[in-house]
Structure 1
């Protein structure tokens, strides 16, 4: 029995994993706890709870659990969290085929009768009535529930993300239609407008997360979508630099909390091992929305002259209307959580009672810390402060600030660069599509590799080694490439199609958090680092460095090398922290571990029984 949060989850192959299902390992029988129906709180110092007492309803019975002896020989043993998959294992997949009617329930901390009580969800947890440590389900049931969750929950998240990206990504297509010339502004103004967007994003991140945690993402996300669609539609009416700056600022302000709110929302339904590939699909939609937006732009930009307006104005307006409709529909389709799915238009709800039990118990067995707060419980200022000063997440934030910079300026300037080498407006619009598709495919496979190899840092180094030689070629051969239009495009195609680690990093933050409040805040803080990265990268290609950006490319090479070093240092740091924790934890007796857990309620990822992924 593995008494660690990190090892509580299985290597369960979800439906997007593209690998064969393997044999089920047989577990050895031990004693465990079962939930009784008339239960009271096992301890007031719940280790994963930082709950506001106001969440409890007056008159509600406080749940408790009784210790019983149960045969757990049917449980599946979790894989060793410190074991990586070798390359041959990656190629061959798992041996054999899995019996879909076998028990899929994975052994977790809830099956240790001495320590389980310290991992139980708090009495204020909204899904508590479906929590039962003795619950069992088969692989067939788990697969069915996961697919249903994908269609009912995840697909609409992707639709909303599409709405976000057509509004924030349409600026490149607008620039291809001479937006800068029509507004009488230059490339420095363009950079500053992008910075105004990012400033708005930065301002909104933490406050939006706190509002979303208080109201619930199901209420707050639709409001955000409607607000940013109105701001985006306002670009139809702008006529000068000030209006351009104002519109970009408010778009960023209203978009700021969407991504971390959505990630927190998805964590209610999925295990840790299931999040990376879905987050990769999250950003795959980001790229594909760019492809769709390019096709929309190709048609809409032909409207230049309609009602005496430029084509880019119609582009902003039509795409804002699309996201506005998505925002309205989101009020209908988003639900608070897995056991709160019944609505006025869908009285039967999304899931049956059996399916609710499977979702709740598989998620909590994988990560007991997810039962520590109510989904409508606000993050207090002390909670926020504890999350902000969590130094064990700082290595990820540092990487977040620099890992995208080597490709960010070339990506931002792609349409301008293609226009400069004499491609037409409509050629530029179409030429961006292959680049986007290539990057999207690479995002999927590299995220998949991080999960299969169970190593984010080393694969992150490999992703940076993709861009380094290409930047050196750009730096050394920029002048000769400027006379070879297709050669320049080919270099941009490979460079901008690099396998981004963005989805893996977001999942990394979630895994390192080990507390609901830190998980919510870390997603926002990581997103802040991405915006800071954007602000820095937007000042690398400057007007006085045109057209080859020789100085800027030398800076990109230096940052590329620094990012490789940052990944290596993160790997060393988390290995050291895990060794430090393991030494202290293994030295404790069973009674000492129980006493420690009883008083470790607010430690989060500082708990000695928690291990960091690296």
Structure 2
């Protein structure tokens, strides 16, 4: 029997490029993005189910799991490059585009606080900088607390049901912010928004993973986080108009901002109940009786994803995570480096971003100019994000590309720390902030990286939540770096950011070293098995996720 596939995803290559692992071609992705071949993309040479025993093993696994797409699993199905390109475009339009719209709803309701600050929200409510920091900490703590429970609910009832419920509920809270009168109301709405928005990002990643191969996922997540930047531009322009409503009905402009933008996002939530299919085989409904895809398109969609990662069918999309499975993932130490990166790597730029509007007001810019001045860094941020994510896939590198985010921010933070004209030269300070906040964002790379290295739907569900929890922990830390005593220069805060930035760079390099070492360990153990032992391992091993000997970590 041939050696089983490397359960890594794209390429399927071990670090030593052992033919025993690579000859089957099991995980060479069939995506049109990854190959220039004119051959049929569905041919058996690119199929992890080439061996009948392997195919039967997974067929039985899908049946036991009651995987919703098991009836279209077909190891012999073939398709052309043009067919696949057409399907990918269709999935992008139907699935990825709406994921971006839903992320827009998230970012509007969690990001418009910064625009409200430009309209004297703190003064109107009698708050100071420390109150603002405490509100952000409350939001992040609640966001963090909700991450894992949200993922467990999503896995039980399906992200296609849970995500629309989330959006509608947090939109109602976002609207209620227009009635805030004091510190208590500010803190209460921050807490509710955190509880309802927590878990949304890993929920979306889980949903997208049903439709895309591993290599395609990081590119789609780059579009996902590009939406964050585009949302910043759109809401800045919208805020420029809405904040001029200050005085109407005796309200501050920020009250109108929360009301109008909350009404926009609740419409997105209601539409999501209709526009989120549960899976590729579940697009036919009473309001879409013909479905979104033909039977052949469904077959190609399902089989291309399974050939990229057979483990995507070992749970069905309404199957809950058991407490035992949850505990197994929590103690999966091979994923801990990713969580450490999540805590550290986004801290250095976060305080600068969160305080940008306050800084610009301090520099003497009026509320309307302030919102417009946030746009240039957002535009550059989109460009660098897309380039970084594409470079990661072109070079098939995660750590050495993702680290460029912190390589970019380090000299900017050093300059900001020692810049003598922070107050005296407003435009010089603004230019420095723009360069810093134009950094290439690596969240899309990291999110897809965690998904790849999970190698199992159950593990991926929990690990994605744990990674996002780690990011929120980093957010809590970053919210306590710029303090009231340190303004307006924030010298102490920037010194701390420089140290954390250096730590992030070191962690990326150590993570690369660790995964290379672990792959070599696994390769030695795999090569020590006979052909018969390898075949038996594939058929009967109880190892799951990234514990499997025939899995190689992405790095």
Unpaired segments ≥5 residues, structure 2: 13-22
Per the TM alignment, residue 278 of structure 1 is displaced from its structure 2 partner at its CA by 0.4
Shift of 1:307: 0.6
* CA apart distance, 1:115: 3.6
Find the counterpart in structure 1 of residue 297 from structure 2. Answer: 355
State the shift of 1:463 in Å: 2.2
Partner in structure 1 of residue 16 of structure 2:
none
1:436–1:105 distance in 2 versus 1, CA, 3 Å: farther
- Number of the residue aligned with 1:60: none
* 1:9–1:106 contact (8 Å) kept in structure 2: no
In 2: Cα distance, 1:506 partner to 1:8 partner: 15
Aligned residue number for residue 110 of structure 1? 49
Matches for 1:63-78 after TM superposition, within 5 Å? none
> Counterpart of 1:493?
434
2:233 & 2:545 partners in 1: Cα distance?
41
Question: What does the per-residue CA deviation read over 1:534-564, in whole Å, with 9 as the maximum and x for residues that have no partner?
Answer: 1000100111111111111111110011111
Residues 9 and 365, structure 1, Cα contact 8 Å, conserved in 2: no
Per-residue deviation, 1:433: 0.7
Is contact 2:177-2:258 (8 Å) kept?
A: yes
Which blocks of at least 5 consecutive residues in structure 1 are unaligned? 12-72, 81-92
Q: 1:602 offset after TM fit, Å?
A: 4.3
The corresponding residue for 1:331 is 273
Q: Verify the 8 A CA contact 2:139 2:193 in the aligned structure 1.
A: yes
Q: 1:109 Cα deviation (Å)? A: 2.4
Query: Residues 102 and 304 from structure 1, CA distance in 2 versus in 1: closer, same or farther, beyond 3 angstroms?
Result: closer
Deviations 1:479-503 (A, max 9, x none): 3232111110110001011111111
Q: Secondary structure at the match of 1:464?
A: helix
CA contact (8 A) 2:166 2:197 kept: yes
Question: How far off is 1:366 after superposition?
Answer: 0.3
Counterpart position of 1:3: 4
Find the aligned partners of 1:204 and 1:152 in 2 and give their Cα distance: 28
CA contact 2:413–2:498 (8 Å) conserved in 1 = yes
Structure 2 CA distance for aligned equivalents of residues 321 and 8 of structure 1: 41
Contact 1:105 1:138 in 2 (8 A): no
Q: Is the 8 A contact 1:105 1:137 kept in 2?
A: no
Residue 142 of structure 2 contacts residue 198 of structure 2 at CA under 8 Å; is this kept in 1?
yes
Which string of whole-angstrom CA distances, capped at 9 and with x for unpartnered residues, describes residues 258-309 of structure 1?
Answer: 1111110010010001001100110000110111111110110000011111
Provide the residue aligned with 2:540 in structure 1.
Answer: 599
Change (3 A) 1:523 1:492: same
Q: In the alignment, does 2:153 pair up with 1:215?
A: no
By how many angstroms is 1:598 displaced? Answer: 3.0
**TM-score when normalising by structure 2:** 0.94
Alignment of 1:231-242 (within 5 A): 231-242=173-184
Deviations for 1:313-363, whole angstroms, at most 9, x for unmatched residues?
Answer: 000010000110111111111111000111111100011110110011000
How far is 1:9 from its partner? 4.0
Tell me how far apart the structure 2 counterparts of residues 157 and 265 of structure 1 sit (CA, whole Å). 9
Q: How far off its partner does 1:107 sit? A: 1.7
RMSD of Structure 2 on Structure 1 (CA): 2.0
**Closer, same or farther in 2 for the Cα pair 1:494/1:609, shift >3 Å?**
same
The total of aligned residue pairs comes to 539
Task: State the distance in 1 between where 2:430 and 2:536 align.
Answer: 63
Cα gap change, 1:451 to 1:94, in 2 (>3 Å)? closer
User: In the TM superposition, what is the alpha-carbon distance from 1:76 to its structure 2 partner?
Assistant: 7.6
Given that 2:26 and 2:307 are in contact with CA atoms closer than 8 Å, whether structure 1 keeps it comes out as no
Taking the aligned partners of 2:341 and 2:376, their CA distance within structure 1 comes to 28
Aligned pairs for 1:461-500 within 5 A: 461-477=403-419, 479-500=420-441
Instruction: Indicate yes or no: 2:468 matched with 1:527.
Output: yes
Residue 378 of structure 1 aligns to a residue whose secondary structure is coil
Partners of 1:103 and 1:137 within 8 A in 2:
yes
Q: State the 1:112 CA deviation.
A: 2.2
In the other structure, the counterpart of 2:340 is: 398
Is the 2:341–2:504 contact (alpha carbons within 8 Å) kept by the matching residues of 1? yes
The corresponding residue for 2:62 is: 122
CA distance in 2, matches of 1:119, 1:296: 51
* Structure 1 position 99, deviation (Å): 3.0
After superposition, the Cα gap between the structure-2 partners of 1:76 and 1:598, relative to the gap in structure 1 and judged at 3 Å, is closer
Equivalent-residue separation in structure 2 for 1:515 and 1:107 (angstroms): 21
The structure-2 alpha-carbon separation of the partners of 1:389 and 1:356, relative to structure 1 and needing over 3 Å to count, comes to: same
Contact 2:402 2:446 survives alignment (8 Å): no
